[in-house]
């Protein structure tokens, strides 16, 4: 073959390769545009869903505020809760929506939970107090203002005046810190936050009630603030180690402000939190990987119980457990006058290869434990058991104190039952009112028990 033909073939191959490459590039560009269009459509749909749900939330709250029938009041409260949930779900579909629309997310969560708390508290004697009615009216007004703001943005989206922001764009912008912890700029949707209406303070028995903010945990009441060095010494004493091995790595705030220390122990990194007030141990965990199990679960549970007794946690009874990667985690609740106090749970984790405690969580105990004036049951066990579904077989009974959504506690008859398929269900009957209070499902397998 002549050199001229070789050159011609080479040029032809290069041209063909370039054409193929260009074709792939064009195809890739088209696919990228299609993908971006799908994303944009998804974000537009999510924002439309958010706008619709906010409007429907306003309507539901307005209806609730005028209801006088217990059944209707409860149904409308449940409807308001479902609309708040739908809005939260739509908000979660927007890129970093729960971060940039923080006030909006908080409003939806608090309003939905408040509505559900009212629905669950409805009785024939009390539908809605004047205070609740006033709060519902103000929440409705806030939802209406939010809805109008969202509708304005929705119209701008539809006209093309603003464009949905891609996740990568949100990531880049949120990462652009100005050195003062502030993000430079914001998405067009943040006008919702800038114009956010005034929201009434919500005081009710639920996890988002604002009366819970700043509440002093019962076990810390009256205790002095401790210094960093005192907290370090408390951590060392709890674990039987020298204070010098602990390094301060965190300082957290909230209802349980604490010092966080790390230490290298037994081939792993240990992290322990000590409360700023009182110097109590809040949490402990270690990164050490457990080896092959030597101890049985019963032996691991006994190790955990002995550890709690040694640390001064009295009358603690084991509840449910879970084993994962050679570590047994056991929940304990204190027993007072024969009543299991579930709000005061403590979790202890034991490595089954050595029997060492590798995890400890006491937030529930520090928050709720203290002297209680437990009431005598107004409803006996026999009458309470009559409220258990007839398809369930009662296996055991005990009295238990269980938490509500907020800071209240309810004395209940606890019935562990077995369903027809062999699964286990726990039924709680209020020992004062004789009504079903709560139901838990137990998911049990070879690794332990999960409570739902």
Q: What is the pLDDT of residues 283-311, one digit of tens each?
A: 998 888 888 999 999 999 999 999 999 99
How far CA 384 is from CA of 159, 171, 417, 443, 452, in Å, comes to 61, 54, 13, 24, 22
Same domain? 248 vs 314:
yes
Q: Mean of the pLDDT values across residues 379-395?
A: 94
Question: Which pLDDT does position 180 carry in this prediction?
Answer: 42
Distance of CA 397 to the CA centre of its chain: 30
Band the pLDDT of 451: cuts 50, 70, 90: low
Residue 72, pLDDT score: 80
Residue 405 belongs to domain with CATH number: 3.10.450.40
Would residue 7 count as lying in a domain? no
In sequence order, the 6+-apart residues with CB closer than 8 A to the CB of 266 are 286, 288, 356
Q: What is the pLDDT of residue 304?
A: 96
Of 182, 212, 242, the one marking the end of a domain is 212
Mean pLDDT value of segment 411-433:
92
Q: Give the predicted TM-score (pTM) of the model.
A: 0.61
Which of 18-22, 227-231, 355-359, 404-408 reaches the highest mean pLDDT?
Answer: 227-231
**Phi/psi at 380 (5° precision):** -80, 170
Region 346-359 average pLDDT? 93
Are 138 and 75 part of one and the same domain? Answer: yes
pLDDT in the model for residue 31: 45
Strands 346-351 and 258-265, by their bridges, are unpaired
- Could you say which DSSP state residue 212 is in? G
Residues spanned by the domain of 73:
15-212
195 and 249 in one domain?
Answer: no
Q: Are 217 and 210 in contact (CB under 8 A)?
A: no
**Helix, strand or coil for residue 300?**
helix
Q: Looking at the DSSP assignment, which residues form a beta bridge with residue 259?
A: 251, 274
Give, to the nearest 10 degrees, the angle between helix 102-120 and helix 70-93. Answer: 160
Last residue of a domain, one of 306, 335, 368: 368
* Residues contacting residue 6 through CB under 8 Å, at least 6 positions apart: none
Domain final residue, candidates 179, 212, 245: 212
Give yes or no: residues 251 and 361 share one domain: yes
What is the total count of domains within the chain? 3
The answer to whether position 10 is within a domain reads no
């Amino acid at each position: 073959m002549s050199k001229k033909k070789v050159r011609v073939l080479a040029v032809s191959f290069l041209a063909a390769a370039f054409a193929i490459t260009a074709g792939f590039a064009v195809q890739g560009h088209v696919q990228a545009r299609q993908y971006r269009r799908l994303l944009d459509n998804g974000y537009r749909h999510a924002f439309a869903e958010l706008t619709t749900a906010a409007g429907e939330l306003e309507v539901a709250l307005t209806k609730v505020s005028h209801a006088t029938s217990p059944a209707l009041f409860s149904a409308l409260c449940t409807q308001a809760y479902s609309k708040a949930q739908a809005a939260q779900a739509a908000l979660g579909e927007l890129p970093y929506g729960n971060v940039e629309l923080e006030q909006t997310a908080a409003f939806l969560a608090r309003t939905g939970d408040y509505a559900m708390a009212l629905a669950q508290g409805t009785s024939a004697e009390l539908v809605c107090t004047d205070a609740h009615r006033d709060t519902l009216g103000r929440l409705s007004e806030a939802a209406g203002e939010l809805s109008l703001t969202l509708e304005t943005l929705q119209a701008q989206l539809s006209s093309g005046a603003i464009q949905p922001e891609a996740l990568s764009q949100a990531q880049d912008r949120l990462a652009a810190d100005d050195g003062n912890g502030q993000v430079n700029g914001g998405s067009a949707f943040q006008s919702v936050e800038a114009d956010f209406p005034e929201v009434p303070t919500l005081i009710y028995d639920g996890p988002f009630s604002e009366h819970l903010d700043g509440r002093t945990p019962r076990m810390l009441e009256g205790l002095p603030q401790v210094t960093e060095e005192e907290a370090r010494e408390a951590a060392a004493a709890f674990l039987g180690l020298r204070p010098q091995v602990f390094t301060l790595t965190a300082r957290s705030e909230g209802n349980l402000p604490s010092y966080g220390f790390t230490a290298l122990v037994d081939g792993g990194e240990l992290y322990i939190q000590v409360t700023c007030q009182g110097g109590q141990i809040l949490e402990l965990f270690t990164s050490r990987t457990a080896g092959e199990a030597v101890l049985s679960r019963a032996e691991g549970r006994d190790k955990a119980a002995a550890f709690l007794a040694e640390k001064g946690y009295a009358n603690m009874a084991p509840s449910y457990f879970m084993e994962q990667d050679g570590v047994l985690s056991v929940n304990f609740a204190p027993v007072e006058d024969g009543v299991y106090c579930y709000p005061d749970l403590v979790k202890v984790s034991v490595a089954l290869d050595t029997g060492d405690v590798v995890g400890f969580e006491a937030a529930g105990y520090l928050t709720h434990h203290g002297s209680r004036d437990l009431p005598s049951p107004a409803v006996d066990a026999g009458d309470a058991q009559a409220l258990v579904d007839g398809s369930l077989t009662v296996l055991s009974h005990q009295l238990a104190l269980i938490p509500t959504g907020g800071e209240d506690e309810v004395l209940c008859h606890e019935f562990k039952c077995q369903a027809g398929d062999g699964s286990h269900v726990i039924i709680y009957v209020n020992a004062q009112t004789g009504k079903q209070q709560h139901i838990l499902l137990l998911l049990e397998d070879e690794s332990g028990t999960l409570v739902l």
